[in-house]
Amino acid sequence: MKLIPCPLNGLRPADEFIYAGEVRHMPDPAQSTDADWARYVFHRSGVPGVKQEWWCHTPSGYWFIAERDTTTDEILRSYPAAQRKVEAS
Amino acid sequence: MMRRLPAVEGEWIDRSRPLQLRFEGRTVTALQGDTLSSALAAAGIMTVARSFKYHRPRGIVSAAGHDANAVFQIGHEPNQRGDQIAAREGLAFQAVNTRGGVARDRASAIGLLARFLPVGFYYKAFLGQRSFPWFERIIRNFSGLGRVRFDRIDPPRERRYQHCDVAVIGAGIAGLAAAVSAAEHGARRIVLIDEAQRPGGSGLWHAKTQPQDVARCRELIDRLNASSDVELLCSHSVVGYYADHELAVSRIDREDGGLRLLRARAVVMATGCIEQPAVFRNNDLPGVLLGSAAQRLLYRHGIGAGERIVVLGANDEAVALALDLVSQGLTITDLAVPEGSPIDPTSLPFGALRAAGVRVHGNVRAIAAQAGSDGTLAAVEWLGAGRREQVTCDCLLMSTGWMPALQLALQCGGSITFDAALGQHLPQTLPAGLFVAGRANGCFDFADRATDGAAAGEQAARHARGDLPVADRSAPPRSTRRHSHPAALFAHAAGKEFVDLDEDLTLADLANAAQEGFDSVELLKRYSTVGMGPSQGKLSNLNAARQLARVTGRELPTLGLTTARPPWQPVSLGALAGARLAPLRRTAMDAWHDRHGAVWMPAGNWRRPAYYVGATDTQQQIGAEVHAVRNGAGLIDVSTLGKIEVMGRDAGLLLDRMYVGVVSDLAPGRTRYAVMLDEAGTIIDDGVVARLADGRFYITTTTGGSTAIYRELQRRVAEWQLDCTLHNLTGHLAAMNLAGPRCREILAQCTQLPLDDKAFPYLALREGHVAGAEARIARVGFVGELGYEIHTPCDQAQAVWDALLHAGAATGLRPFGVEAQRILRLEKGHIIVGQDTDGVTNPFEAGLARMLRMNKPFFTGQRSLQALQRRGDRQQLIGFTIAAAQVPLAESHLAIDAGNIIGRITSVAYSATLGRTIGLALLAPAHAVIGGTVQFRDDHGAFHPATLVAPPFYDPAGERQRSGAQA
């Protein structure tokens, strides 16, 4: 089983974590068309590469961001959610 | 015939401790330290199994569990590996694939049908066949290894979790050196794992010809035994190598062994090589075995592999083998060296061999074995130097090549490459922290294996400490010459040259498969099933690839390899299942419910009473519970609700963004029903939000959603960086709902709180004491009667429950379960999220539009609802009634109109209160017309007309829950 570095709890086995998808930029609801909004809600990019992802260490209830290379399944780093960078998609 | 020799120095058996085993009804005398295979060998039983397809007699091949011949049924446990299971007094076992025992297997007649069982037989036979079920039954009866007892439930097997600095896989000379070296370089928790009963591997062979090597090996073993840093796990197999150095370690010396999950900081694989058989006619006869198998039998169990032994040898190891066996008093008559072998028969130390009476034959171009009347090896003939020669013998040892055991490295993401100079695969890239040493790393000389192992042990110890890797690990002392014949495949006009002993596949089978177009290793495997048997290609994958290369005119390295997947050795399903850790959550009143006849139903990971058993039948009991709530009072345990306190300056903001309505404007001491959506506008949860004070809210969630909703709230707090703290009280607080027209007078006996409508109105929440326990009490109306939901700490909840029941005894208060609650809420038309809604139901469709505050600045799902509102509803939740009482309709039964599906039932029950069947259905909007009629179809195809109505069915104005009006 994989080990995941939690910024709060250190290296812990993967089954203590849940994954909640890529960090995505929410477009301004008032400004976006139905099509743009639908793309935000339903579209997920499966292109392999380094992704910012939401992870939660469930015993401690701690959410953080991990940067993971989805081609190698290697977690490059992880940091608190406050430090995340969200780029407009 | 095999037999026990006089004592061999260093043997693993204890000749003073005989054992009696039962093999297929025969008594077999063995010794302490024997395996099942060696016990049979010592008793002279050459045929230990029948082959999978043709039921040919089979004997010991590897004596190491690398083949699937010596596989036995022990009691109810099928497929136990006889090479590795220790003999125990009284153990009874039998071959797994026979009709009437190995000696006279009636199914062996199937071998006569061999030419009607071509490669890819299943695919060919069943393509488009309507007779498949008939064929399937016959084949299932005939194939399969062993018998599974389906009527038996085994106790759960232990699952152990362990951490270590360095794990060393393989306790041969390289592994022993690695473990010692790792300890010397600071590793403190070292686990050394080997499949055999004792450490040493091949380092203990050649006791008389290379005594200094054996002495070195024994010295290392003694040092390990004296070390407190090393745990030695013999008779254990590493069956899986997972991410970040997690090893699945299976105990194999007992048929009921469990699994150990070992997390290492660094790993040394000193897994050695698997000796590969040569492929020639009748190479599967009992008596034809690997050279290494003869040495295992000799040095571990004191068994001679035969009286007159012929060696088919192609490498240095074959010469050493012959000299070694001769030195131990065995008779080697001939050494046949195939053409193209790495050794040159003209420049070898043949003087010693000749002196021992071994005749040496070079340039052997063809070889075939012959069976005697008992079906075991009787003679070998070969064609060499233009002459055909035949010798009688009872044992043919194959020593023609090796395959490094690198599958575990491949499992964890490593890669290997074919080294042409060495003529075998070598590690190419390995994950950080994995080091390969010894023969698996291409080092063949004894001293080189020890050196390489020590170097790997040092590297692993450094890696485990977190030190940077040593930049320049000197190149491993790899062998500079080949140790394998490039392709020891000898086709014969009469066939029966077995490449895969598990699956009875011959050279011709593989050639045919390739010619039919299955000419890549992966396709060849799937079509022919080569390498798919219990031994997973340990003895067949390489030879199959060689045959494919030969047939297609390609080079072996260009063919690649089939994907390596766990398990490396077979593991029983019971070991994989382990002891299940699925904790059942019990409410504080669980024991009371159990004592009072609760019939349990699962609710998330909790259990809840469905109803309480009484004097009458199920339906009458549930009816009586409903009747009590409608006419007197009832009490239900609702502790499984999610209960979360939300605190902080931004608590109201968070909840306003999560729920579809406004909650931040609630006055302290007030509650409101609230609905939560996901980003697509789908309903995911509902519950009650209460404001306790400024900056303090208390919310409930559905039972099933409590974990996910709490988590999502936490994520949103982190994402939006809110000043907000969440406290999950789900397990801390118990909750019970006291409901019914007479519940106020019951509660009044247990609390000082004023309960009149003015002081404690509908939807209010009060904090106080009930029966002396701190409690939050909310006036709720889920079941449509005057009701109080009491939340109180778990440790006091049973006392509160008891006090309420005591207070209500005179009023007819009775506990009710989930079944009654479902009917009660259905009468009120209250939805259950996940039952009356599905994965796409939005609030418009569920009749909850009145809850929405679309003019709020933001809530999750709001923007999607705006789009959905413009698009129009896809379905509509609506009520229906049927006058009859006994209607065989259930959830998910379909509504049909003119042959088309127009919707389905989401809830249905008979309401004794109303005297008719009521329900909710999701229907296409065009058909969801109040007053209309739809036809629901039951399981038997009968249609039941129902009248569509607007819920609620009962007390539509809600007078009863608001004022507690008496019936």
Task: Judge whether B960 lies within some domain.
Answer: no
Tell the residue number behind the tokens 């498949």, with chain if given. B132
**Mean pLDDT value of segment B345-351:** 73
How far is residue A29 from each of residues B156, B656, B857, B863, measured CA to CA in Å? 53, 16, 10, 6
Q: Is the pLDDT of residue B401 over 80?
A: yes
Q: Tens of pLDDT along B874-895?
A: 999 999 999 988 899 999 999 9
Task: Judge whether B967 lies within some domain.
Answer: no
Q: What count of other Cβ atoms lies within 10 Å of the Cβ of residue B646?
A: 26
Rounded Cα distance, B295 and B62, in Å: 10
Beta bridge partners of B497: B281
Task: Judge whether B546 lies within some domain.
Answer: yes
Task: Judge whether B479 lies within some domain.
Answer: no
C-alpha closest to that of A56 among B714, B956, B84: B714
Whether residue B309 is found in the same domain as residue B390? yes
**Mean pLDDT value of segment B475-491:** 94
Whether residue B27 is found in the same domain as residue B107? yes
Beta bridge partners of B330: none
Whether residue B336 is found in the same domain as residue B243? no
| Token pair for A3 | 């080990």
Q: Tens of pLDDT along B418-440?
A: 999 999 999 999 999 999 999 99
Chain A residues inside the 8 Å CB shell of B263: 13
B/e letters for B674-698, b = 16+ CB within 10 Å, e = fewer, are: bbbbebbbbbbbbbbbbbbeebebb
Question: Quick check: A60 contacting B, CB < 8 Å?
Answer: no
Tell the residue number behind the tokens 């290609």, with chain if given. B537
Give the residue with greater pLDDT, B303 vs B110. B303
B255 residue type, one letter: E
Exposed, middle or buried: residue B223 (CB in 10 Å: 0-12, 13-18, 19+)? middle
Lowest mean pLDDT among B57-61, B341-345, B629-633, B732-736: B341-345
Contact B844, B865 (CB under 8 A): yes
Q: Residue B131 — pLDDT band, cuts 50, 70, 90?
A: low
Look up the ipTM and state it: 0.95
Task: Judge whether B545 lies within some domain.
Answer: yes
- For B524, the 3-state DSSP assignment is helix
Rounded Cα distance, B719 and B724, in Å: 12
Give the pLDDT of residue B967.
Answer: 37
Rounded Cα distance, B146 and A70, in Å: 43
> What is the count of structural domains for chain B?
5
Q: Which residue in B263, B721, B858 is closest to A29 by CB distance? A: B858
Whether residue B292 is found in the same domain as residue B333? yes
State the nearest Cα–Cα gap between B240 and chain A, in angstroms. Answer: 11
Q: Tens of pLDDT along B23-54?
A: 999 999 999 999 999 999 999 999 999 988 88
Q: Is the pLDDT of residue B358 over 50?
A: yes
C-alpha closest to that of B662 among B650, B672, B649: B672
Whether residue B127 is found in the same domain as residue B17? yes
Contact B495, B508 (CB under 8 A): yes
Q: Which residue in A1, A38, A42 is closest to B246 by CB distance? A: A1
Give the pLDDT of residue B347.
Answer: 72
Whether residue B408 is found in the same domain as residue B262? yes
Task: Judge whether B818 lies within some domain.
Answer: no
**Mean pLDDT value of segment B515-527:** 93
Per the CB < 8 Å rule, is B719 touching A58? no
Give the pLDDT of residue A85.
Answer: 67
Q: Which residue in A32, A61, A82 is closest to B721 by CB distance? A: A82
Chain B residues inside the 8 Å CB shell of A61: 710-711, 714, 726, 728
Give the pLDDT of residue B661.
Answer: 94
Q: Which residue in B243, B862, B867 is closest to A1 by CB distance? A: B243
Q: Tens of pLDDT along B839-878?
A: 999 999 999 999 999 999 999 999 999 999 998 889 999 9
Question: Quick check: A35 contacting B, CB < 8 Å?
Answer: no
Secondary structure element (H or E) that encloses residue B867, with its range: helix B862-871
Contact B336, B384 (CB under 8 A): yes
Per the CB < 8 Å rule, is B680 touching A58? no
Phi, psi of B853 (to 5 degrees): -115, 80
Q: What count of other Cβ atoms lies within 10 Å of the Cβ of residue B387?
A: 8
Rounded Cα distance, B304 and B293, in Å: 10
Whether residue B140 is found in the same domain as residue B2? yes
Q: Is the pLDDT of residue B126 over 70?
A: no
Rounded Cα distance, B262 and B638, in Å: 42
**Mean pLDDT value of segment B258-284:** 96
Lowest mean pLDDT among B251-255, B586-590, B691-695: B251-255
Secondary structure element (H or E) that encloses residue B180, with its range: helix B173-184
Q: Assign residue B336 the CATH number of its domain.
A: 3.50.50.60
State the nearest Cα–Cα gap between A83 and chain B, in angstroms. Answer: 10
Give the pLDDT of residue B467.
Answer: 81
Task: Judge whether B24 lies within some domain.
Answer: yes
Phi, psi of B340 (to 5 degrees): 85, 10
DSSP string for B247-259: EEEEE-SSTT--E
Q: Residue B472 — pLDDT band, cuts 50, 70, 90?
A: low
Instruction: Report how far Cα B285 is from the mean position of its chain's Cα atoms.
Output: 36
Rounded Cα distance, B194 and B168, in Å: 9
SS3 content of chain B, % helix, strand, coil (to 5): 25, 30, 45
Instruction: Report how far Cα B282 is from the mean position of its chain's Cα atoms.
Output: 38
C-alpha closest to that of B533 among B558, B499, B561, B508: B499
> Which site among B241, B863, B864 would you substitute to test the A interface, given the most A Cβ atoms closer than 10 Å to its Cβ?
B863
Chain A residues inside the 8 Å CB shell of B680: 41-42
Q: Is the pLDDT of residue B311 over 80?
A: yes
Q: Residue B348 — pLDDT band, cuts 50, 70, 90?
A: low
Q: Which residue in B261, B714, B863 is closest to A63 by CB distance? A: B714
Q: How many A/B residue pairs have CB atoms within 8 Å?
A: 51
Give the pLDDT of residue B255.
Answer: 67
Chain A residues inside the 8 Å CB shell of B710: 61
Whether residue B309 is found in the same domain as residue B377? yes
Q: Assign residue B656 the CATH number of its domain.
A: 3.30.70.1400
Q: Tens of pLDDT along B831-842?
A: 999 999 999 999
Select from B517, B545, B565 the last residue of a domain.
Answer: B565
Select from B541, B565, B589 the last residue of a domain.
Answer: B565
Task: Judge whether B225 lies within some domain.
Answer: yes
Q: What count of other Cβ atoms lies within 10 Å of the Cβ of residue B584?
A: 10
Lowest mean pLDDT among A15-19, B369-373, B473-477: B473-477
SS3 content of chain A, % helix, strand, coil (to 5): 15, 40, 40
Whether residue B42 is found in the same domain as residue B124? yes
Q: Residue A87 — pLDDT band, cuts 50, 70, 90?
A: low
Q: CA-nearest residue of chain A to B719?
A: A81
How far is residue B593 from each of residues B14, B445, B632, measured CA to CA in Å? 60, 72, 21
Q: Tens of pLDDT along B452-465?
A: 999 999 999 999 99
| Token pair for B842 | 């939005």
Q: Is the pLDDT of residue B141 over 60?
A: yes
In terms of pTM, does the model score above 0.90?
Answer: no
Q: Residue A88 — pLDDT band, cuts 50, 70, 90?
A: very low
Question: Quick check: A20 contacting B, CB < 8 Å?
Answer: yes
Whether residue B396 is found in the same domain as residue B407? no
Q: Residue B966 — pLDDT band, cuts 50, 70, 90?
A: very low
Q: What count of other Cβ atoms lies within 10 Å of the Cβ of residue B912?
A: 18
| Cβ within 8 Å of residue A53, ≥6 positions away | A19, A20, A21, A22, A23, A65, A66, A67, A68
Whether residue B282 is found in the same domain as residue B362? yes
Q: Assign residue B11 the CATH number of its domain.
A: 3.10.20.440
Per the structure, the complete domain to which residue B8 belongs is given by 1-152
pLDDT > 90 fraction of chain A, expressed in percent and rounded: 81
Give the pLDDT of residue A7.
Answer: 96
| Token pair for B493 | 């006009």
Average pLDDT value for chain B: 92
Residue ranges of chain B whose CB lies within 8 Å of a chain A CB? 242-244, 246, 261, 263, 679-680, 710-711, 714-715, 718-719, 721, 726, 728, 858, 862-864, 867, 870
Whether residue B196 is found in the same domain as residue B237? yes
State the nearest Cα–Cα gap between A2 and chain B, in angstroms. Answer: 5
Q: Is the pLDDT of residue B819 over 90?
A: yes
Select from B565, B584, B619 the last residue of a domain.
Answer: B565
Tell the residue number behind the tokens 């300890």, with chain if given. B183
C-alpha closest to that of B746 among B691, B702, B688, B805: B805
Per the CB < 8 Å rule, is A58 touching B711? yes
